[in-house]
Amino acid sequence: MERTFIAIKPDGVQRGLISEILSRFERKGFKLVAIKIVVPSKDFAQKHYHDLKERPFFNGLCGFLSSGPVVAMVWEGEGVIKYGRKLIGATDPQKSEPGTIRGDLAVVVGRNIIHGSDGPETAKDEIKLWFKPEELVKYTSNTEKWLYGVN
């Protein structure tokens, strides 16, 4: 089953939006398979955002991600990578649709409260960077047969 890496950034944690964000993924029908709260080091943040290292905002972004607690998660489900990005909304909250997490809950691009993997390769790499294999919990959710219609 497909998996994605989702993180609530320090602004989302400080603003008390953890449960709001969790519930949007949970109610949709995605399955939480790993979760922890951590303060990443700046070096770790640079690894996470390595593909953006040439961008002018890279240093500020990594400084911000490592400035406080982050809720790191792995969510599982059919189409979760692409649909997770849909739930999150456009990078710039000014351009995110209402109804999306950033559209409803954030105002500026530098404080857009949440991260989500942008494709299958980054999902794999980010899950591996943030979690040990044994931190991913394998279980059958009671709702699966109702969500997917298979027995």
| Buried b or exposed e, range 63-101, using 16+ CB within 10 angstroms | ebbbbebbbbbbbbbeebbebbbebbbbeebeebeeebb
For residue 108, the minimal CB distance to Mg ion (Å) is 16
> Which does residue 120 touch among ligand UDP, Mg ion, none (CB within 5 to 8 A, set by kind)?
none
User: Is-catalytic flag, 50?
Assistant: no
Q: Which of 3, 24, 48, 115 is catalytic?
A: 115
Calpha distance 93→8 (Å, rounded): 15
Calpha distance 49→28 (Å, rounded): 27
Residue list 78-137, contact with Mg ion (CB under 5 A): 118
Calpha distance 115→85 (Å, rounded): 9
Angle between helices 80-88 and 18-28 (to 10 degrees): 140
For residue 88, the minimal CB distance to Mg ion (Å) is 10
Calpha distance 61→46 (Å, rounded): 9
Residue list 27-66, contact with Mg ion (CB under 5 A): none
Q: Rule CB under 6 A: is residue 57 a binding residue for ligand UDP?
A: yes
**Segment lying near ligand UDP (by CB under 6 A), choices 73-81, 107-115, 123-131, 133-141:** 107-115
The site for ligand UDP, by CB under 6 A, has a size of 9
Task: For residue 55, say whether it is annotated as part of any ligand binding site.
Answer: no
Task: For residue 112, say whether it is annotated as part of any ligand binding site.
Answer: yes
Chain contacts with ligand UDP (rule: CB under 6 A): 52, 57, 61, 91, 109-110, 112, 115, 118
Q: List contacts with Mg ion (CB under 5 A).
A: 118
